[in-house]
Copies of this chain bind each other. A is one copy, B any other.
Amino acid sequence: MFFTIDPDNGLAIYDQILRQVKFAVASGALQPGQRVPSLQELATTLALNPNTVARAYRELQSEGILEMVRGIGLEISSKAVKRCQQDRDALIRERLRSVLLEARQSQLDDAELREMFDAEMTASKPKSGRK
């Protein structure tokens, strides 16, 4: 899998996994019916303790995103896509709102804020075509 974990993120590791699984489903990188890497596999790949991964997977199960198939492993549920797309939007919107709220309270003016946004947008733009 293609998860990137940053231990100093502020977010708990299990939460980063949780979010990234949701985001992968929302973007179609993970499809319903597809198996998710096993606990041990993901744990060793990311150099994490299996328990940490287990917690993320457990919560995804309780949200109905993942389904357990006895003796096989965990797979993406059919109803996961819609759910994950909603979640992705909500999760990002929530963080965005929180930042903007703080910016507003600090009297940062619109122009400056937009400027920051644009700067960070281009800065974070993935590598691509000619300039």
| Mask of A109-129 contacts with B, CB within 8 angstroms, 1/0 | 010111011001101111000
Q: Please tell me the number of chain A residues within 8 Å of chain B, measured between CB atoms.
A: 48
Instruction: With a 10 A CB-CB cut-off, give which of A20, A112, A123, A124 has the most chain B CB atoms.
Output: A124
- Docked-complex contact A97 and B120, CB < 8 angstroms: yes
Using a CB-CB cutoff of 8 Å, which residues 44-102 of chain A contact chain B?
49, 59, 62, 70-71, 88-89, 92-93, 95-102
Q: Does B124 contact A23, Cβ atoms closer than 8 Å?
A: no
A110 and B120 contacting across the interface, CB-CB below 8 Å: no
Whether A71 pairs with B93 at a CB distance below 8 angstroms is no
Could you tell me the distance in whole angstroms from the C-beta of A82 to the nearest C-beta in chain B? Answer: 15
- Interface positions of A (Cβ within 8 A of B): 4, 7, 9-10, 13, 19-20, 23-24, 26-29, 49, 59, 62, 70-71, 88-89, 92-93, 95-108, 110, 112-114, 116-117, 120-121, 123-126
